A and B are shown apart, each in its own frame.
Chain A
Amino acid sequence: MKPSISYRGFLLFENQVNTHISVSYFALYLKWLLNPFIMKQLRVFFLIGISVLLLHSCYSVQFKVSNGQAEPCDTEREDWLSGYCVRELDTVVKVGTITKENPINIKDCESGALHTVEYRNTFGGILLYLVTFGRKRQVKIKYVCIKESN
């Protein structure tokens, strides 16, 4: 297929070119919009747009105590938790109509104390919360315990 004319930066191909030059500019625009190639391009833009939106609704917040020693580990992480024993909790908690959940018990800190918590919010989590009217809540956290003292 030989490229023929270009329209707003997109190449249009010969068998797609509008030969009725006399039709209105709007019709031309509509036709351009509906042609499969442009549709594909728009889909890409749409997907990028949605992804940007999703990314923006996905964030994390980190907390750490300043007067405690985090539990160290020999890990290969490169992020801000490098060198620490990082535990992860990824679950969905359910809330009943007349009951409310108690705090999630963290049992694996031998020192009995938390040093760092990273809470992550995702688009999926928000969606789940919305469609279940708040009855299901996604919990995604990373945490580091305080090092056991001796």
Chain B
Amino acid sequence: MATTTITQRTWWDTLHKNGRFPLKWFLSTKLEKKEYLPNAIDRYNDAAKEIQRLLKQALDSGEGFRAIGSKWSMSSIAHQKDRMHFNSYMNIKMAISANEVHANSPYKAENLFFLQCGNQIKEISLYLQEKGKSLKTTGASNGQTIAGCISTGVHGSALDVGSVQDYVVGLNLIIGPNAEDILYLERESKPVLNNLIPKKLRAKIIRNDALFNAALVGLGSFGFIHGVIIEAEDAFLLKRYVRKIPKETALKLSDTLDFKNSDFKIAGEVDANGKPLRPYHYKVFINQYSKEKDYVVEAIYKKPFDPKYKEKYGDPIPFMKEFVYRDLIYLLIRISEKFPKAIPKFVKALSNTILPKEEKPIVGRLSEIFWDAGYQGKAFACSFGVDHKNASKALEVLTKLTRDEGPIPGIFAMRFVKKSEATLAFTKFPITCMIEIDGIQWEKSKKLISLEEYGKRMIEVLQQHNIPFTIHWGKNAAWNFPKLAKHMFPENSEKWTKARSAILSKEMAEVFNNDFLRKLGLDTYHEDDFQHLIASL
């Protein structure tokens, strides 16, 4: 039997200490040992039974239940005051064979993998590597769980690929304690599995695009995601260049993403006519306090896999990585709270270690280029999605605010991500530019506004300038800003709450609620009859 350790707690916090949130019970489930239950499906079903038992306990005691991943989110999205469940040890991985794939599936069986929710990006990459495969994209580092990633919509800067949820093609949800509460959900337009695996999982099959897209970025509130099916691809290499280029060029590229006709050219990364190639990834780093004429940009090009890449280009993973002393950073922050004018100087002084350096190109697998995270102390991150055509305008508005009403101890960056089909994906524009400021937490002082005020002002200035935006669900923001969800997703917020009401019973919707959802008004339950939504069984 899978076993759950339940500990009494008074509080809980995120990895980067963005809270202290009240909590009653912390739960952590470990799978039955392989020696006692060698079959992976049996171990998986055994874990499902355990999760259902825990859901029943929560339901019977009138308490909430929330699954959490690696607690990397900095917003309170992962918090629930009653019961929080740590999924990380639930990490079964299975390949899918051709006879398990739906006859009309557009996917190749060799690229499909079944992953239990607690699998972390790094272990998935290592597993796929053994099979000659790779994830299509990840965030900038690799510690998140697969269920945690899709629940907020984790992205990198893969212009033409999308976010993590965009290669998830099937979902296994546990929506309550009863036998019929195990669902297998996929798109009707792109079926993945025939009924062999769902039958083994004792899951009810729902093939419905609207429900699937809603559940995909489910904010932790669409039931317990027990497992997902991903579409991987053949292993590939990435070649990463860091360059300093004139601000105007970097911004024009951000607004147009027209690499072909840009002045930004890297020798060797050109087509037959000598025109620049479109990179796999493009990122711009911005020190908003610097008057330098150039920005640092990172451009990454996709290359066919070559097993000799380390011999040819060297090891992409450094022998040792250097980090600024955490205590030094904290000291600088304490000083900044008293003397905010010092912040730009600190940011400049630290920028050598924060910003990537112009060195020879690095070549490696996706999992080596986007590798382990460094700094583990108190941090904040705010991240806004805008249409990339508005990138420079939105950047100007946000950096001006940061200089005028800050300064804030952080540094901006822009990443670019293809539109997601998920109903509540913050990557909702054809190509979304994610404008992010990352930095170290500070305390409000007489001379320095608080993170909450800053978050609120960011929303206000974007609204004043009529720039449509979204916010990364897992990052810091003024989440209690009036009508925020409706403003970001005028139609889709209701589509999402309706789909959620179609999937979850009213009682279970309450179990999977949390304050984050309530603040945003996304906890609305629609009592209507939604049977038409789940018609395509």
Contact A148–B89 (Cβ < 8 Å): yes
- Interface segment, B57-65, B115-123, B209-217? B115-123
B376 contact from A66, A68, A72, A82, Cβ within 8 A: A82
A125 at interface by CB-CB < 8 Å: no
Which has the most chain B C-beta neighbours within 10 Å: A66, A74, A79? A74
Contact of B126 among A68, A72, A79, A80 (CB under 8 A): A68
* A contact residues around B120 at 8 Å (CB): 69, 72, 147
Q: Which stretch (B26-34, B228-236, B468-476, B497-505) binds chain A?
A: B26-34
Check if B376 sits within 8 Å of A150, measured CB to CB: no
Contact A150 B43 (CB under 8 A): yes
A72 close to B378 (CB less than 8 A)? no
Known: A78-B377, A79-B376. A67 touches B126 (CB 8 A): yes
Contact (Cβ within 8 A) B123 A69 = yes
B427 within 8 A of A: no
Q: Which residue from chain A places its CB closest to the CB of B121 in the assembled complex?
A: A69
- B15 close to A150 (CB less than 8 A): no
Residue of A nearest to B375 (CB): A80
CB contact list, B132-148 vs A, under 8 A: 143
Known: A78-B326, A83-B71. A150 touches B88 (CB 8 A): no
- Chain A residues with Cβ below 8 Å from B91 are 147-150
Size of A's binding interface in residues, CB under 8 A: 18
B83 → chain A closest CB, angstroms: 13
Q: How far is the CA of A68 from the CA of B378 in the complex (A)?
A: 25
Asked if B438 lies at the interface with its beta carbon under 8 angstroms from chain A, I say no
- Whether B123 and A149, one on each chain, are in contact in the complex, defined by CB atoms closer than 8 angstroms, is yes
Query: With the chains together, A46 CA to B40 CA distance in Å?
Result: 64
B6 to chain A, nearest CB (A): 13
Partner of A74, one of B26, B40, B143, B326: B26
Majority SS of interface residues in chain A? loop
Report the nearest B residue to A82, measured CB to CB. B376
User: Binary interface profile of A, 75-101, with partner B (CB < 8 Å = 1, else 0)?
Assistant: 011111111000000000000000000
The one of A67, A68, A150 in contact with B92, judged by C-beta atoms closer than 8 angstroms, is A150
Residues of B within 8 A of A68 (CB): 126
The docked-state distance in angstroms from the alpha carbon of A149 to that of B33 is 11
Residues of chain B lying within 8 A (CB to CB) of residue A148: 89, 91
The answer to whether A150 touches B143, judged by C-beta atoms less than 8 angstroms apart, is: no
B116-A150 in contact (CB<8A): yes
**Residues of B contacting A76 in the complex (Cβ-Cβ under 8 angstroms):** 13
Contact of B40 among A67, A83, A150 (CB under 8 A): A150
Q: Do residues B126 and A83 form an inter-chain contact, with CB atoms below 8 A?
A: no
- Chain A residue nearest in CB terms to B34: A150
From A66, A83, A149, give the contact of B143 (CB < 8 A).
Answer: A83
B86 touches A74 (CB 8 A): yes
Smallest CB–CB gap between A73 and chain B, Å? 8
Q: Mark A139-150, 1 if CB is under 8 A from B, else 0.
A: 000000001111
Residues in chain A near residue B123, CB distance under 8 A? 69, 147, 149
Q: Take A66-B317, A83-B15, A150-B40 as given contacts and tell me if A72 and B326 are in contact as well, using a CB distance cutoff of 8 Å.
A: no
Q: Within the assembled complex, what's the spacing in Å between the Cα atoms of A81 and B372?
A: 12
Closest Cβ of chain B to A72, distance in Å, is 5
Cβ distance B242 to chain A, nearest Cβ, rounded Å: 21
Contacts of A74 in B (CB 8 A): 12, 26, 28, 71, 86
> Which residues of chain B are within 8 angstroms of A83 by Cβ–Cβ distance?
15, 70-71, 143, 376
Task: Give residues 54-77 of A contacting B (CB, 8 Å).
Answer: 66-69, 72, 74, 76-77
Quick one: which of B3-28 are within 8 Å of A by CB? 12-13, 15, 17, 26, 28
- B residues apposed to A, CB below 8 Å: 12-13, 15, 17, 26, 28, 31, 34, 40, 43, 70-71, 86, 88-93, 116, 120, 122-123, 126-127, 143, 317, 323, 326, 376-378
Instruction: Jot down 7 A-B pairs with beta carbons below 8 A, ordered by A.
Output: A69-B122, A69-B126, A72-B70, A74-B26, A76-B13, A148-B89, A149-B123
